[in-house]
């Protein structure tokens, strides 16, 4: 019975809400949500959805059409508690448009908790629309039944990034020039530490950046294999290896 119920919940549309969720406490939809619920999904008064806010777990909620212009969600029952998601920082050089969207979606699906754009010497996209990145992360979380949505941080220059994170995190540096070797044991040795996965732009890191990373104590270099992966593939591969070895899998 439980399996069947989960399947039913899984088929309901999912919506991220920014408000606190409490049983019976009505949550008015904003303009975009109103349009999605009414015009895209064509849901009516009394229809049910799954909602989450990244803090209070997942809830089954019903729609209350107070007027044509004011639609609310009424949380009925918490169906899943908020999971205790481990911190996993994903630092990346912003790619050009399509691949950047894709990378944000994939990092969300793989459970990154913070997305940190880093402007490196060879970064080819310096005009980043942070709101769009955040909307992409929300959409991926809605579609993939995630209960957490990664935060999107303001971009940092490479040096700022190093200064900010090299003291607090173990930085896993995906180095194209590293000797080919399975990174599983190297990653396994970092168990229990705060992890930041760092992937460079399509052109890789500059030699100055590489040397700066290689001299830092809290940097662990891994190989992504004998093939040269595109930066978005490298992101998924590195996050997969970290999650499956020492993370949340």
List of residues contacting a second copy (CB under 8 A)? 83, 102, 105-106, 109-111, 143-146, 180-184, 223, 225-230, 233, 236-237, 240-241, 243-245, 248-249
Contact 198, 171 (CB under 8 A): yes
The minimum distance between CB 199 and a second copy, in angstroms, equals 13
The token duo for 128 is: 């980043």
Closer to a second copy at the Cβ: 29 or 224?
Answer: 224
Cα distance between residue 122 and residue 100, in whole Å? 15
C-alpha distances in Å from residue 190, one per residue of 90, 162, 183, 220: 16, 19, 11, 9
The minimum distance between CB 83 and a second copy, in angstroms, equals 8
Return the exposure string of 107-130: e unless at least 16 CB atoms fall within 10 Å of the residue's CB, then b: bbbbbbbebbbbbbeebebeebee
The minimum distance between CB 238 and a second copy, in angstroms, equals 9
Closer to a second copy at the Cβ: 39 or 185?
Answer: 185
Closer to a second copy at the Cβ: 3 or 69?
Answer: 3
The minimum distance between CB 63 and a second copy, in angstroms, equals 24
**Coil vs helix vs strand at 156:** strand
Closer to a second copy at the Cβ: 196 or 246?
Answer: 246
Cα distance between residue 242 and residue 191, in whole Å? 10
Q: Which of 146, 151, 149, 204 is nearest to 175 (CA)?
A: 204
The minimum distance between CB 143 and a second copy, in angstroms, equals 7
Closer to a second copy at the Cβ: 28 or 225?
Answer: 225
């Amino acid at each position: 019975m439980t399996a069947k119920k989960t399947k039913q919940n899984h088929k309901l549309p999912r919506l991220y809400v920014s408000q606190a969720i409490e049983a019976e406490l009505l949550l008015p939809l904003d303009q975009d949500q109103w349009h999605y619920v009414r015009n895209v999904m064509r849901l009516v008064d009394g229809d049910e959805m799954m909602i989450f806010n990244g803090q209070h777990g997942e809830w089954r909620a019903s729609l209350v059409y107070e007027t044509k212009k004011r639609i609310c969600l009424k949380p009925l029952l918490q169906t899943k508690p908020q999971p205790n998601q481990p911190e996993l920082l994903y630092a990346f050089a912003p790619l050009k448009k399509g691949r950047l969207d894709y990378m944000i979606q994939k990092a969300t699906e793989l459970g990154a908790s913070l997305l940190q754009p880093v402007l490196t010497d060879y970064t080819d996209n310096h005009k980043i629309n942070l709101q769009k990145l955040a909307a992409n992360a929300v959409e991926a979380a809605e579609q993939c039944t995630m209960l957490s949505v990664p935060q999107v941080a303001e971009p940092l220059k490479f040096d700022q990034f190093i200064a900010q994170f090299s003291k607090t995190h173990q930085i896993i540096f995906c180095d194209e020039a590293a000797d080919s070797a399975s990174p599983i044991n190297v990653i396994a040795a970092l168990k229990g530490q705060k992890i930041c996965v760092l992937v460079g732009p399509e052109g890789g890191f500059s030699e100055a950046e590489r040397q700066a990373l290689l001299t830092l104590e809290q940097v662990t270099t891994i190989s992504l294999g004998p093939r040269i992966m595109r930066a978005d593939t490298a992101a998924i591969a590195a996050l997969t290896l970290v999650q499956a070895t020492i993370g949340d899998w």
